[in-house]
A = this chain, B = another copy of it.
């Protein structure tokens, strides 16, 4: 508890300072210092979470008897809170549950949106545990000024993309806040809200006096899926079941708050496993923008669009002439095709080969991009096929408020 309190205190001090912050990372804004790259080491220090080191990855492999997911062994998920305790629980033969989610603000997801879901599917398969997925249609209605109806429609559309990631329906409950808030879930919202002052959310989230009370009152909605008692149809009698939350690190403020409150209301703190951000095509200093479709690859893109976007917009670390490239090689630190391959090319040997050949100039940008286009086209095509098979009935089935009798089998 002391840990979260001091962290929140630090966040408050930082955000109320008048000097320009190094970098801003919260659920609604991610911006690096002076247009540079996010400094993840500083973020870990500021948020007070822990680095996910190699020994933890090895432990996961040992416990699950399978090789770790690409996102884990290549450091996409790079930070955590109490993930080691979750592994202790698992090693003792007990179980836990997974909680992740999404704010359904756009019609089509881009590849960055898929990252937490692809990783969560791996965790579900590897640990054989239940999963709750929250679609915060209420949040998007309040932050993006969407109507209730439009937010709900987007939530269902996004649910299809999420289901297309391959979640196991016997272990997965998907819900939207506009449909599911109430009863035990709402009771937990009130329990949490009682423990968090306005000053506190100003410190954690940077809310102002001009923000509406919907925003100010929202954090408990995202907090309470961390507690098994919010889901009586799933976890009755399992009040001490631990929860593991895979998410991007911009969501950390919600769960810092949640972990601060949990012991005060007699609940277990959720554990977290947190990812870095997926870069825009224009480079890690750019942001993927909903208003610029060329800043990201969308799961609805055609092979032609993917080819065009990668070739035209993916920021290259290669040299400006072939001669210079052969001579100096590519700068992998800024090269987006290599970074994207790091997310989606599963073969470690091939990736190492590409990085080596490219960095010494034996491989050209065009060749790397060609391989990336193949990888992304295959990924997107596979996703589109899977999504086309997700009917409204399947969405209803995932969202049905029902027990999951085989969720731990």
Q: What is A's interface to B at a CB cutoff of 8 Å?
A: 138, 141-142, 145, 148, 177-183, 186-187, 190-191, 193-202, 207-214, 216-217, 219-220
A186/B196 in contact, CB under 8 A? no
Task: Report yes or no: B220 in contact with A190, Cβ–Cβ below 8 A.
Answer: no
The answer to whether A181 and B178 have CB atoms under 8 Å apart is no
- A178's partner among B186, B198, B213 (CB-CB below 8 A) is B186
Residues in B whose Cβ lies below 8 Å from that of A182 = 180-183, 186
Across the interface, which residues of B come within 8 angstroms of A183, CB to CB? 178-179, 182
Instruction: Check B148–A193 contact: CB distance below 8 A.
Output: no
Q: Which residues of the other chain, B, contact A193 by a CB distance below 8 angstroms?
A: 142, 212-214, 217
Nearest chain B CB to A135's CB is how many angstroms away? 14
Q: How far is the CA of A196 from the CA of B9 in the complex (A)?
A: 27
Give the distance to chain B from A230, nearest Cβ to Cβ, in Å: 12
The answer to whether A216 touches B216 (Cβ under 8 A) is yes
Main secondary structure of the interface of A (DSSP, over half): helix
Given the interface pairs A178-B187, A186-B181, A186-B182, the reply to whether A213 lies near B217 with Cβ below 8 Å is: yes
Task: Evaluate contact between B187 and A148: CB separation under 8 angstroms.
Answer: yes
Q: Is the pair A196, B181 in contact by a Cβ cutoff of 8 Å?
A: no
Q: Can you name 16 A-B residue pairings with CB atoms under 8 Å?
A: A138-B186, A141-B194, A178-B183, A178-B186, A182-B182, A193-B212, A193-B214, A194-B212, A195-B212, A196-B212, A196-B214, A197-B209, A197-B211, A199-B209, A200-B213, A214-B220
Q: How far is the CA of A207 from the CA of B190 in the complex (A)?
A: 17
Residue of B nearest to A192 (CB): B214
Within the assembled complex, what's the spacing in Å between the Cα atoms of A191 and B200? 24
Closest to A218 in B: B217
Are A138's CB and B214's CB within 8 A?
no
Return the contact of A148 from the options B191, B195, B212 (Cβ within 8 A): B191
Residues of B near A181 (CB, < 8 A) are: 181-182, 186
A212 contacts across to B, CB distance below 8 A: 193-198
Q: Which residues of B contact A213 (CB under 8 A)?
A: 193, 196-198, 200-201, 216-217, 219-220
Which residue, of A182, A198, A216, has the highest number of chain B Cβ atoms within 10 A?
Answer: A198
Closest to A148 in B: B187
By a CB distance below 8 angstroms, the chain B residues around A196 are 212-214
From B142, B145, B195, B217, contact of A216 by CB (8 A): B217
Are A199 and B210 within 8 A (Cβ)?
A: yes
Please, how many angstroms separate the alpha-carbon atoms of A208 and B198 in the complex? Answer: 8
Which single member of B138, B180, B211 contacts A198 (CB below 8 Å)? B211
Measured CA separation A207–B141 after assembly (Å): 25
- Report the nearest B residue to A207, measured CB to CB: B198
Which residue of A194, A197, A217 has the most chain B CB atoms within 10 A of its CB atom?
Answer: A217
Chain B neighbourhood of A180, CB < 8 A: 182
- Counting chain B CB atoms within 10 Å of each CB, which of A142, A195, A214, A220 scores highest? A214
The interface residues of chain B lying within 8 Å CB-to-CB of A199 are: 209-210
Q: A211 — nearest CB in chain B belongs to which residue? A: B198
Kindly state the separation between the CA atoms of A193 and B213 in the bound complex, as whole angstroms: 5
Q: With A and B bound together, what is the CA distance between A119 and B197 in angstroms?
A: 38
Q: How far is the CA of A408 from the CA of B252 in the complex (A)?
A: 52
Return A140 CB to nearest CB of chain B, in Å. Answer: 10
Q: Which B residues are CB-close (under 8 A) to A211?
A: 197-198
Q: Report chain B residues within 8 Å CB of A190.
A: 138, 141-142, 148, 178, 214
Q: A99 → chain B, closest Cβ, in Å?
A: 19
A182 vs B230: C-alpha distance in the bound complex, in angstroms?
A: 14
List, in ascending order, chain B residues with CB within 8 A of A220's CB: 213-214
Q: Which residues of B contact A195 (CB under 8 A)?
A: 212
Separation in Å of the A203 CB from the closest CB of chain B? Answer: 11
Q: 10 tightest A-B contacts by CB?
A: A217-B217, A182-B182, A193-B214, A148-B187, A199-B209, A198-B209, A181-B186, A194-B214, A193-B213, A196-B213
